[in-house]
Structure 1
Amino acid sequence: MAKHIIFLALLLLSSQHIPVKISAEFSLHSNLNPTQFIIEECGSTRYPALCIQCLSNYSTRIQKSPWNLAQIALSISLSRALYLSSFVSKLITGKGMKPIVYRATKDCVDNIGNAVDQLTSSIKELEGMKRPMNDQDFLWHVSNVQTWVSAALTDQTTCLGGFSGPGTDGYVKFAIRRRVSYCTQVTSNALALINRFAATHA
Structure 2
Amino acid sequence: MATTLFFLLFFTPFLYSAAAPNHNAPQDLVRSSCINASYPSLCLRTLSSYSGPTGTPRDLAQAAVKVGLARARKASTYLKTSVTGKSERERAALSDCVEQMAESVDELSKTLSELKHLRGETFEFQMSNARTWVSAALTYEDTCVDGFEGVDRKVKGDVKKKITNVAMVTSNALYMIRRLDESGGLNR
Same fold (TM over 0.5): yes
C-alpha contact (below 8 Å) 1:44/1:193 kept by paired residues: no
Q: Which amino acid in structure 2 is aligned with residue 103 of structure 1? A: A
Tell me the amino acid that sits aligned with residue 120 of structure 1: S
Q: Kindly provide the amino acid, as one letter, of the partner of residue 53 in structure 1.
A: R
TM superposition score normalised by structure 2: 0.82
**The one of 127, 130, 149 aligned to 1:142:** 127
Between the aligned residues of both structures, percent identity stands at: 33
Q: Secondary structure at the match of 1:141?
A: helix
Aligned to 2:157: 174
Corresponding residue for residue 112 of structure 1: 101
- With over 3 angstroms needed to count, the CA separation of the structure-2 counterparts of 1:106 and 1:60, relative to structure 1, is closer
Q: Output the CA distance in 2 between the equivalents of 1:59 and 1:90.
A: 28
TM-score, normalised by the number of residues in structure 1: 0.76
Aligned residues: 163
2:181 equivalent to 1:192: no
Match of 1:159 in 2: 144
Render the CA deviation track for 1:134-154: whole Å, top value 9, x for unaligned: 3xx110111111110100011
Aligned-partner residue type, residue 39 of structure 1? R
Corresponding residue SS for 1:159: helix
After TM superposition, the structure 1 = structure 2 runs for residues 40-119 of structure 1, keeping only pairs within 5 Å, are 40-58=32-50, 61-63=53-55, 65-92=56-83, 94-95=84-85, 97-119=86-108
Contact 1:104 1:163 in 2 (8 A): yes
Is the partner of 1:74 in helix, strand or coil?
helix
**Aligned partners of 1:171 and 1:91: how far apart in 2?**
12
Which residue type is aligned with residue 96 of structure 2?
A: D
**Unaligned regions of 5+ residues in structure 2, if any?**
1-21
Unaligned runs of 5+ in 1: 1-29
1:91–1:172 CA contact under 8 A, matched in 2: no
Q: Distance in 1 between matches of 2:75 and 2:49?
A: 22
Q: Secondary structure at the match of 1:113?
A: helix
Q: Is the Cα contact below 8 Å between 1:34 and 1:59 reproduced in 2?
A: no
Q: Which has the larger radius of gyration?
A: 2
Deviation of 1:133 after TM superposition, in Å, equals: 1.4
